[in-house]
Amino acid sequence: MHFCGDGNHILNMILNIEGVKGVNFGNPEKFEPKKTMEKIIKKNKVYYGTWPINNNESVEEYFKRVLSYLNGKKGNLIFICGNIPKDIPRQQVIDIWHSLQ
């Protein structure tokens, strides 16, 4: 299920809907990633999307941070990393991601 804006007030309700398998946020910056991923994992749902990259955060640091939200689980995230700076070669981004798996 996709929604835009700040949906923190309805997220728990959405995650409790049996037919909802995953969520996608139009404005992920309005959610606290660690707490949000904990809720998603607890309900055995999937997050399909991205999380904001911090200023001066390397790609490797960013990926490590995002992966840390999963607490070792891998089935709860379909990660879109479209906010990586465009000057970093895409193959390098892929290689970094794979090296951390």
Q: What is the pTM (predicted TM-score) of this model?
A: 0.91
User: What mean pLDDT comes out for the span 33-49?
Assistant: 98
- Taking all residues of the chain, what is their mean pLDDT, rounded to a whole number? 95
Partner residues linked to 79 by β-bridges: 49
What value does the mean pLDDT take over residues 1-14? 96
pLDDT tens-place string over residues 9-22: 999 999 999 999 99
Would you call 40 exposed, middle or buried from its count of C-beta atoms within 10 A (0-12, 13-18, 19+)? buried
Q: What is the pLDDT of residues 63-89, one digit of tens each?
A: 999 999 999 988 999 999 888 999 999
